[in-house]
Amino acid sequence: QSVLTQPPSASGTPGLRVTISCSGSTANIGSKYVYWYQQLPGAAPQLLIYRDSLRPPGVPDRFSGSKSGPSASLAISGLRSEDEADYYCSTWDDSVSGPVFGGGTKLTVL
Amino acid sequence: QVSLRESGPAVVKPRQTLTLTCTFSGFSLTARGMCVSWIRQPPGKALEWLARIDWDDNKFYNTSLKTRLAISRDTSRNQVVLTMTDMDPVDTATYFCARTLMVATSKMLDSWGQGARVTVFS
């Protein structure tokens, strides 16, 4: 059972916008940066968003991250079929000096 | 270009020790802020961080698995090795290594290997 809670599934129609939530606490999300990872089917995770809202080079600006208090969100606009993947939120756990991950959200593009 | 690749046995028997090797290129593990982590993912389940080794050879472990894990590095060969003792069928998972950047207040796994699938089976 992760300390970060994500909905197990989400879905959206091509071209529209979908949001994935990540709920934590003031001890994790509320005081640490949030990272998002995208895992395409059969592939390794890849960094999608870092420091709450920044995109690594090559990540389209259709992907955006935000945070408010103990919760964070990943928004995907202009949804495309290739966005169908599992999405994981993550923060840093100082007690072990390592990341904690949410349970993951499986995004289906209808 | 940063690249990481995991290697190791696809099948181990219960109570055996698993040894996985991460061979990387495109960065130096002795450069400040550079680290390598191991993460696993049981079939159909979420990611779980296991261990990390830093540029200064400091090592960190998942608390619940600490007694079974050991991480080490060979900087001359650009390799990081993870051993996990007393393997059990519940340890069946894909094991990933990932470069971990510790830069200022950013701590992120920015490049991942393709993963090594390990099945614990007698």
pLDDT in tens, B56-102: 999 999 999 999 999 999 999 999 999 999 999 999 999 999 999 99
Of B48, B96, B107, the CB nearest to A92: B107
Measure Cα distances from B76 to A76, B19, B21, B54 in Å: 42, 19, 14, 15
Q: Which of A37, A40, A106 to mutate to test the interface with B (most CBs of B within 10 A)?
A: A37
Q: For residue A94, name the pLDDT band (cuts at 50, 70, 90).
A: confident
Residue B96 has what pLDDT? 98
pLDDT in tens, A20-41: 999 999 989 999 999 999 999 9
Three-class secondary structure of residue A90 per DSSP = strand
Three-class secondary structure of residue B64 per DSSP = helix
> Residue by residue, what is the 3-state secondary structure of B1-55?
CCEEEEECCCEECCCCCEEEEEEEECCCCCCCCEEEEEEEECCCCCCEEEEEEEC
pLDDT in tens, B16-51: 999 999 999 999 999 999 999 999 999 999 999 999
A22, A29 Cβ separation under 8 angstroms? yes
Q: Which residues of A touch B47 (CB under 8 A)?
A: 37, 45, 88, 90, 101, 104
Predicted confidence (pLDDT) at residue B122 exceeds the cutoff of 90: no
Q: Provide the number of CB pairs (under 8 Å) joining chain A to chain B.
A: 61
C-alpha B64: how far from its chain's center? 16
**Joined tokens for residue B26:** 């495109």
Which residue type, as a one-letter code, is found at position B10? A
Q: Which residues of A touch B114 (CB under 8 A)?
A: 43-44
Predicted confidence (pLDDT) at residue B54 exceeds the cutoff of 90: yes
Q: What average pLDDT does this structure show over A85-106?
A: 94
Give the integer Cα–Cα distance in Å for B52 and B37. 4
Spell out the residues 6+ positions from residue B122 whose beta carbon is closer than 8 angstroms to its own.
B13, B14
**Joined tokens for residue B18:** 């698993």
Q: Which of A36, A101, A105, A106 to mutate to test the interface with B (most CBs of B within 10 A)?
A: A101
B88, B120 Cβ separation under 8 angstroms? yes
CB contact under 8 A, A98 and B109: no
Predicted confidence (pLDDT) at residue A43 exceeds the cutoff of 80: yes
Closest CA–CA distance from residue A35 to any residue of chain B (Å): 7
β partners of residue A12: A109
User: Is A92 touching B (CB cutoff 8 A)?
Assistant: yes
Q: What average pLDDT does this structure show over A5-18?
A: 97
Q: For residue B106, name the pLDDT band (cuts at 50, 70, 90).
A: confident
- The number of residues making up chain B comes to 122
